[in-house]
């Protein structure tokens, strides 16, 4: 266990990858500030993890709420050592661009792209005061390669990759590292939703992956632990791809 009394803020922590990260960082001894729009889910997570965990209902597309989340972490624990911008959604319908709804575009961009910008901005303001910090953005394989019938999600995740690299250049001299994780197809609510919409994809996609299986949320969480640790201390502006070889 590397950490003692460091604080990690995780958005989208009530389920999926965010929940796996919350469990992993708790095991590493972090003080946790967990956010999600799902209050019921957050309460269950808090009851499971116990001490040194506070939760807050946050809509990441609202800057005042994100800023309040950072202030809550500082007020409770004194610092924000690790900020994980994980909250994300997918579109309601997987369709070609000409058929894509404005609502799916606006909603996905608001959470996945603008929400990450807000999370970075609020965390960076605090980290500059501290003189150090570590930001981990959750992008996607869809931010590195084409994702047909999914234009808003692809656009948002490509944006996360670009924002990560740009901000990493700006703050490297300030002792603030900023990296991204790009999961491939991993067990999550988003993947389940896609298979519900198009069940025929489940076996077909798996056969495209050299490992012939989908990723586990715990495997993505392990990558976040590494990025948050001193073992990756010379790494910034990078996108760590965990996809079972699919991008090959």
Cross-strand pairs, 53: 32
Cross-strand pairs, 239: 180
Contact 184, 172 (CB under 8 A): no
Catalytic residue status for 153: yes
Give the torsion sign (CA, 163, 243, 88, 78): negative
> Phi-psi category of 34—alpha, beta or left, where left has phi over 0 and alpha has psi -120 to 50?
beta
Catalytic residue, candidates 153, 171, 185, 214? 153
Contact 87, 16 (CB under 8 A): no
> Catalytic residue positions?
153
């Amino acid at each position: 266990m590397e950490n003692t009394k460091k604080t990690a803020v995780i958005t989208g922590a009530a389920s999926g990858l965010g929940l796996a990260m919350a469990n992993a960082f708790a095991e590493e001894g972090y003080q946790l500030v967990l956010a999600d729009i799902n209050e019921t889910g957050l309460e269950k997570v808090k009851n499971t993890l116990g001490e040194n965990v506070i939760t807050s209902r946050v809509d990441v597309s609202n800057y005042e709420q994100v800023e309040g989340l950072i202030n809550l972490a500082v007020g409770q624990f004194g610092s924000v050592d690790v900020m994980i911008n994980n909250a994300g959604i997918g579109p309601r319908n997987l369709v070609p661009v000409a058929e894509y709804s404005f609502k799916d575009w606006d909603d996905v961009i608001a959470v996945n792209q603008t929400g990450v910008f807000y999370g970075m901005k609020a965390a960076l303001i605090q980290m500059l005061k501290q003189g150090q910090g570590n930001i981990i953005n959750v992008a996607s394989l869809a931010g590195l390669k084409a994702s047909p019938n999914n234009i808003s999600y692809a656009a948002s995740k490509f944006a996360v990759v670009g924002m990560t690299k740009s901000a990493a250049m700006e703050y490297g001299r300030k002792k603030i590292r900023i990296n991204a994780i790009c999961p491939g197809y991993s067990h999550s609510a988003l993947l389940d939703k896609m298979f519900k919409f198009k069940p025929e994809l489940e076996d077909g996609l798996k056969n495209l992956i050299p490992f012939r299986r989908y990723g586990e949320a715990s495997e993505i969480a392990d990558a976040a632990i590494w990025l948050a640790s001193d073992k990756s201390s010379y790494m910034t502006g990078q996108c760590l791809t965990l996809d079972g070889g699919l991008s090959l």
